[in-house]
Amino acid sequence: MSSSLRIAIGSDHAGYELKQHLVAFLAAQGHTVDDQGTHSTESVDYPPICAGVGRTVRDGKADFGIVLGGSGQGEQLAANKVRGVRAALCNCLYTARMARSHNDANVLSMGARVVGVGLAEEIVTTFLSTAFEGGRHARRVAQLTELENEF
């Protein structure tokens, strides 16, 4: 994994246990982790939590964000409502690598009911250690930003 990073992380109740594990995993890797909740398995609405993670990344207070839920779908959608966020649902190593190298994704979304702890660690490691390739992909990311600004 790359040098020490600042990572904002948040989840709903379904992602709580995986979030707790990843907070410890990331801290053990030397990263600074901003745990934005939830702080239990009690049912909670995820949109404000995931948008908060996105705002933290957008505002430069974190290098990357991670959002977790049962499937990761809603969490990705909520994070993507924040201008400047490129959240990617990655439940395998290939999508984690492509999200970073081709899309310059800055928020990782995963489904705790989809991936196990070991795979989640590998996905996080791949996501955080994969560089954006730039080149033709930079042009496409710029087009995404233009679309975001248009709407």
Catalytic-labelled residue, pool 13, 31, 39, 102 = 102
Question: pLDDT, tens digit, for every residue of 87-141?
Answer: 999 999 999 999 999 999 999 999 999 999 999 999 999 999 999 999 999 999 9
- Residue 132: which residues within 8 A CB-CB, separation 6 or more? 100, 101, 104, 138
Topology of the domain covering 6-150: Ribose 5-phosphate Isomerase B; Chain: A, (3.40.1400)
Model's pTM, two decimal places?
0.96
Question: pLDDT, tens digit, for every residue of 12-43?
Answer: 999 999 999 999 999 999 999 999 999 999 99
Q: Where are the domains of the chain?
A: 6-150
Q: Is 31 a catalytic residue?
A: no
Q: Please report the DSSP string for 40-67 in residue order.
A: SSS----HHHHHHHHHHHHTTS-SEEEE
